[in-house]
Structure 1
Amino acid sequence: VFLIPYTLMLALVGMPVFFLECSFGQFASLGPVAGWKAVPIMQGMGITMVLVTSISNILYTVIIAYSLYYLFASFQSPLPWTDCFSWWGADETCSRTPKEIYVHHQGPSEQYWDKVVLRRTSSMDETGEIVWYLALCLLLAWLIVGAALSKGIKSSGKRSGNREAGVYWLSLIDYFCTGWVLITIALLELISLSWIYGVNRFIKDIEMMIGKRNWLFWLWWRGCWIFISPCLLAVILIWSLTTFTPPTYGPIEYPVWAIALGWCLINFCIMWIPIVAIVRVVQAEGATLCQ
């Protein structure tokens, strides 16, 4: 059942947006902010892309830190998360029996994750102390990233996952910043390049790089870029907003201030699009908006 919607979305949205972004980036040969000078009114999308990418990189680095912890913890036998060992704090709710039988019990791997790896607090309001081994793993992860890039790195992500409530922050940012913002960016990309910049003009730019193609080759891409993909993304965005439910971490609900912070993160990423658009309209020459 999963393969049907996955294949449809891949064909109708995923591949068209991927081809559009790769073609635009290759033709412009510029960064996300400078590249959108092709559509000045939408140049704020470049800032939004940079912000979302920065936030996503912070999240992924924290996940790498968790992976590094498990890598180091696996150099022992038996593996501590394979059974309910008392030496790492397993309690009476830890059971190797499937959870379908004992609903209120936790498996050893789940309890090890909560009690040892995260040392998770009972709610997001309790920040807790810095978990020193996660902090070291996070530092190592950033050093690996820095070595790979051979450039300096920023320390903006060094707080997100090394405290006892860090996993709440990780889930909160992932829930709000990597969903609706990305859908909005993809939708505006399609509208900007297909409707404002012009799909025919964009196709000519691509043919300048890959050579001339017949009209049958462009029929599918043209249909997806102009109508199919934008409509599907708009429907998904509207549906997800109208069916919004506050995020939770398992049975634990997020406080109101955390949900408000999540919406503020979304607005902070997206607000640059209308701000830059207004600035470009004010600075543009001409007596009317169309001009």
Structure 2
Amino acid sequence: MPTTPPVRPGDPAYEPHQFRQAAQSFGTDAQRYDRARPRYPDALVERIVAGSPGPDLLDVGCGTGIASRQFQAAGCRVLGVEPDERMAEVARRLGTEVDTATFETWDPVGREYDAVVAGQAWHWLDPVAGAAKAARILRPGGRLAAFWNVFQLPREVADAFAAACQQVLPDVPFLAQAMTKQPSDGYQPLFVTAVDGMRAAEAFGEPEQWRCDWDRTYTRDAWLDQMPTQGAFTRLPPEKLTPVLEGVGTVIDGMGGSFTMRYTTVAVTCTRTGNTRTGSPRTISTA
């Protein structure tokens, strides 16, 4: 499920960067965010590193440094840019250097990078301004990669999630509906917008989509720990959040106390060439 504001995919207003204040709600419990949010597939991290001309990497919207630490472990020198000081402070404490700023206004002070990445964050940027900024700081052959973890709940959990959301959040009907749809339905507008922004920058080769499929088993407690970090719930008061957690928890208890989540991590990526091309992005599986 996208952690985006309450706008239906397909609507003209489906531009999450216009609702950037929603992204700032993730810092309300930054330690939980870092603890509970999933990491990214090692295969994707390794492919981005291998496809970059050097080790200098900028992590845009780095949050608490989840992706930053994975790239550091893969041998990169990482700087994060994060607008929420609460998130940035956790990232620094865990070993990532971070500048506190929005990417569009951030001053690189003449620094250049071999890769610019954004995990679960690119949709909070203006897609054209973000791609243009990335082009200015990337070295020739440098890689821009925006990626998202897309998950598919088991049907029983999705139905419980939808029912609880419908009861507690009746003013956001699409949220309940999104729980029972294919996950790509909600994310596809983000991929298209990212591709369009990269093309508009007129400084990159043709964008590609890289996909990694993987599974993660959640205990009841682990999933209920993650749910409050999702965009639909970060600003809910306890009296509304608690019934949602209880409803979903009861269903997981009935499944034996755990379930396996199917993830697809999708990266929209291109290289800094200065060339402008057209056409649809190619999809390449890394599974």
Higher strand share: 2
Structure 1 length normalisation: TM-score?
0.28
Higher helix share: 1
Larger CA Rg, structure 1 vs 2: 1
